Amino acid sequence: MHERQQNAAHGDVSGQVVQVGEVHGGIHLHGRGRDGTLADVSLDAPRSGTPIRGRDALLAELTGALDRPDGLVRVLHGLGGCGKTAAAQSVADHAAEHGIAVFWIRPEAALDAMLRVAVELGASFAEAERSKATPTAAQRWVWRHLHAAPHPWLLVFDNVDEPVEFCGGRRPGDGDAWIRGSRAGLTMATTRVGRPELWRPALLLEVGPLDERDSVRVLSDHAGGPDPDDLPDAVREAARRVGGIPLALRLIGGVLQEYRTGSSRYEDVLAVLGRSLRELDALAAPVLAARGDGRRPERRMLGGVWALSLDLLRPEIPQAPALLQVLSFLGADGVEVPWGRLPHSALRGGIVDTGPEELTGWSLDRAVNGLRAHGLLDVRESAGVATVALHPLVAEVTRERLGADGLAVAAAVHALVSHPGGDDLAVEQAAYRGVCAVRERELGAAHPLTLDARFGLAFSTLERRSLDEADTRFRALLRDWARAQGPEHPGVLLIRHELGRIAIQRRDWAEAEAQYRAVEAMEESGVLGWHLWTGRHGRALIAFEQGDLAAAERQLREVVRLREHARGPRDIGTMISRHELGRVSLARGNAEEAEESFRTVAEVLDDVLGPLHPQTLASRYERARAAAERGAADRAAAEFAAVAQAQRQVLGADHPGTRRTREALQELRRPRPE
């Protein structure tokens, strides 16, 4: 008898499997090789264990197209993490329930997957293997089978985030590559790139964030299904904080379900998330791994989902990643950034100025459009002004992932908010908050660069009339600046001047007098601030607010004379004192003199500071008030309306200055009794 040998098979095998009962010696199977062999790829759609929320209109459009194919491709596009794949999954579930064949194509294995689609539709397996060697011919061959299919089908190309590359360098909308439309079934694609010029004539359907109600329901679904009405308030606040991004809601829900042991655990987990969204990824990673959902973490974690878009953009548009970092400061908390806030001249030489070519307005436009195409920002228009807006969660995660770029980004942002012509206080305040956070962390609270940013934050806070916050910030800054730079440093003088302004607005005359006398003493010892004779100017304002118009006029005329003699008639400090002198004239009943004074001041400030600077708008407001006092109602109304519109843009609709102008216009338009 021969001794039984162990069977050994070597090499690639495809096709049918042959089972041999007993073989003496080894067997070596000679396969066709990988180039001619179809890979074993799955065409099954991924399954979701939770219902889709807030997409009723979108799903109605897609299922209608599935039931009645019209030959148009449907492209689901939007910000990473907004649920494009989940929406496609829901359509796939609908198709399967109605007996419609579903083919789910992943870009990394498209050729093998599409050839297997043809086989499932009845094509020869051998012919499919032969077609693999000629991919372009394979596309035509597969689509002949799809067009001729006897039964309807759903074909989904998921995560086509490089559509031109996926289509072999061609525009996907041309319909001569893998992505094509058909009246035999529905073709869908999910992508971050929503550029109509690439996809036309396909129908683009944007998948955006959820509203608050659906956000809470999604979070509840992933937290184990508690009734949304029974969730603690902290959970609702977490849902609001992430702004309706389904990926973030799914991660938070999974963390809550895994870690909670009672109501207090909700509060504990959410407290961690409140410190930093970076903690969310750290908590969620083991949860996803335990559930078998740890594949491709760049698509399942907040820290990677938008970084993937930037990785796709970087080779073609190297300025895009750094520009998003800069915008995450300027556009924090949903603040819309006016396009005028992004002059390329102010960004040259900084972190955004990268790549082989010099930064130009065109390259900056291209970077914005690239970020927009990936859903990372939105470009809007309000009252004829173009603005750029980031989702608050995108801005927050971007800031938390700055790493070694933090100081360079902070420098670029500081340069932008210091650049002449930018006058949006909401943008300034958001930007300075971010710059301060980075510099305090990296350099310390008393570093000169940090002190400079802290002054900018306190100043923008005061300009937005948040007196208590501004006072707290300026007093802390006064302490740190005096310790670090000395009590006679010009920065100390500037801070005391602003504290005097706050005291006047609070009608704390003793505090205002003390601060401005301290400023005057510093000036007499040779310390200079932004403007000359700031202490005298401040004390004149105290007299005006106390009703001593004669003393206010006398002191202001002297300050105007001194400033004009030292720095000329177009000096900003001179104009500010002339503005206050006009207010005195108006209060004394000299409306004609006041209007002329405000006209002169507004024209100079418009030229020097710009038409949207708050000081320019303040002078225009006073000019309208003087015109109204003179009986020129139409002229006054037109000016009030123009100022109110500009103030809404610069200060915000709820700013006291904006409300004051709006109320003055309403009062002027109110019908008078006969």
**In whole angstroms, what is the distance from residue 516 CA to residue 462 CA?**
17
Selection from 601, 624, 625 nearest residue 613 by Cα: 601
- 408-437 burial, b at 16+ Cβ within 10 Å, e below that, comes to bbbbbbbbbbeeeebbbbbbbbbbbbbbbb
> Is 159 in the same domain as 243?
no
> What is the model's pLDDT at position 635?
93
Question: Is the confidence at residue 297, as pLDDT, over 50?
Answer: no
Question: Is the confidence at residue 301, as pLDDT, over 70?
Answer: no
Q: Which residues contact 637 (CB under 8 A, 6 or more apart)?
A: 624, 665, 668, 669
Question: Is the confidence at residue 476, as pLDDT, over 60?
Answer: yes
In the chain, % of residues over pLDDT 70:
86
Phi-psi region of 510 (alpha: psi -120 to 50; beta: other; left: phi over 0): alpha
> What is the model's pLDDT at position 357?
85
CATH of the domain at 345: 1.10.10
User: Which position has the higher pLDDT, 302 or 319?
Assistant: 319
**In whole angstroms, what is the distance from residue 486 CA to residue 522 CA?**
12
Final residue of a domain: which of 267, 302, 337?
A: 302
- Taking 3-state DSSP, the helix, strand and coil percentages for the chain, each rounded to the nearest 5, stand at 60, 5, 35
Q: Which residues contact 599 (CB under 8 A, 6 or more apart)?
A: 623
In the chain, % of residues over pLDDT 90:
52
Question: Is the confidence at residue 19, as pLDDT, over 50?
Answer: no
> Is 224 in the same domain as 265?
yes
Lowest mean pLDDT among 137-151, 370-384, 603-617: 370-384
Final residue of a domain: which of 164, 188, 206?
A: 206
> Is 82 in the same domain as 116?
yes
Decide if 637 contacts 629 (C-beta within 8 A).
no
Question: Which range has the top average pLDDT, 235-239, 310-314, 649-653?
Answer: 310-314
Decide if 35 contacts 54 (C-beta within 8 A).
no
Q: Which residues pair with 105 in a beta bridge?
A: 157
> Is 140 in the same domain as 265?
no
Lowest mean pLDDT among 354-358, 485-489, 501-505, 565-569: 354-358
Decide if 649 contacts 382 (C-beta within 8 A).
yes
Question: Is the confidence at residue 312, as pLDDT, over 50?
Answer: yes
Tell me whether residue 231 is in a domain. yes
> What is the model's pLDDT at position 259?
61
Lowest mean pLDDT among 44-53, 266-275, 547-556: 266-275
Question: Is the confidence at residue 516, as pLDDT, over 90?
Answer: yes
Average pLDDT in the chain: 85
> Is 74 in the same domain as 184?
yes
Final residue of a domain: which of 418, 442, 476?
A: 418
Question: Is the confidence at residue 219, as pLDDT, over 90?
Answer: no
Q: Tokens representing 66? A: 């599935």
> Is 283 in the same domain as 399?
no
When pLDDT is averaged across residues 346-369 and rounded to a whole number, the result is 90
> Is 120 in the same domain as 94?
yes
Decide if 188 contacts 84 (C-beta within 8 A).
no
Grade residue 23 by pLDDT with cuts at 50, 70 and 90: very low
> Is 256 in the same domain as 321?
no
Sign of CA dihedral 124, 127, 132, 136: negative
The letter for the amino acid at 674 is E
Grade residue 552 by pLDDT with cuts at 50, 70 and 90: very high
> What is the model's pLDDT at position 603?
95
Beta strands at 186-191 and 153-157: parallel, antiparallel or unpaired: parallel
Backbone angles phi, psi at 171, to 5 degrees: -70, 125
> Is 74 in the same domain as 202?
yes
DSSP annotation string for 149-164: -SS-EEEEE----SHH
When pLDDT is averaged across residues 472-479 and rounded to a whole number, the result is 96
Tell me whether residue 228 is in a domain. yes
Tell me whether residue 143 is in a domain. yes
When pLDDT is averaged across residues 400-408 and rounded to a whole number, the result is 90
Grade residue 27 by pLDDT with cuts at 50, 70 and 90: very low
Q: Tokens representing 558? A: 């002297």
Question: Is the confidence at residue 501, as pLDDT, over 70?
Answer: yes
Q: Tokens representing 535? A: 């202490």
**In whole angstroms, what is the distance from residue 74 CA to residue 482 CA?**
63
Selection from 245, 190, 192, 195 nearest residue 222 by Cα: 245
**In whole angstroms, what is the distance from residue 79 CA to residue 85 CA?**
12
User: Which position has the higher pLDDT, 183 or 335?
Assistant: 183
Grade residue 311 by pLDDT with cuts at 50, 70 and 90: confident
> Is 126 in the same domain as 149?
yes
Question: Is the confidence at residue 584, as pLDDT, over 50?
Answer: yes
**Tally of domains in the chain:** 3
The letter for the amino acid at 441 is R
| Look-up of token digits 């100017």 | 537
Tell me whether residue 581 is in a domain. no
Grade residue 260 by pLDDT with cuts at 50, 70 and 90: low
Phi-psi region of 27 (alpha: psi -120 to 50; beta: other; left: phi over 0): beta
**In whole angstroms, what is the distance from residue 513 CA to residue 543 CA?**
10
> What is the model's pLDDT at position 47?
77
User: Which position has the higher pLDDT, 653 or 570?
Assistant: 570
Beta strands at 74-77 and 186-191: parallel, antiparallel or unpaired: parallel
How crowded is residue 200: how many other Cβ atoms within 10 Å of its Cβ?
14
> What is the model's pLDDT at position 350?
93
377: domain range? 314-418
> Is 188 in the same domain as 107?
yes
User: Which position has the higher pLDDT, 19 or 73?
Assistant: 73
Decide if 154 contacts 185 (C-beta within 8 A).
yes
Instruction: Taking each helix axis as running N to C, give the angle between helix 233-241 and helix 263-275, from 0 to 180 degrees, rounded to the nearest 10.
Output: 30
CATH of the domain at 247: 1.10.8
CATH of the domain at 118: 3.40.50.300
Tell me whether residue 455 is in a domain. no
> Is 68 in the same domain as 95?
yes
When pLDDT is averaged across residues 347-361 and rounded to a whole number, the result is 90
Helix segments in 31-109, DSSP class H: 56-67, 84-97
Lowest mean pLDDT among 52-61, 291-300, 333-342, 416-425: 291-300
**In whole angstroms, what is the distance from residue 288 CA to residue 284 CA?**
6
Please provide the size of the chain in residues: 674
Tell me whether residue 296 is in a domain. yes
The pTM of the full predicted model, rounded to 2 decimals, is: 0.69
Tell me whether residue 601 is in a domain. no
**In whole angstroms, what is the distance from residue 477 CA to residue 458 CA?**
9
Decide if 207 contacts 83 (C-beta within 8 A).
yes
When pLDDT is averaged across residues 161-180 and rounded to a whole number, the result is 87
pLDDT tens track for 37-96: 777 788 888 877 778 999 999 999 999 999 999 999 999 998 888 889 999 999 999 999
pLDDT tens track for 123-170: 999 999 998 888 889 999 999 999 999 999 999 999 898 888 888 888
**In whole angstroms, what is the distance from residue 577 CA to residue 558 CA?**
10
> What is the model's pLDDT at position 529?
86
> What is the model's pLDDT at position 652?
76
Burial of 638 (0-12, 13-18, 19+ CB in 10 A): middle
Tell me whether residue 532 is in a domain. no
Selection from 592, 554, 596 nearest residue 579 by Cα: 596
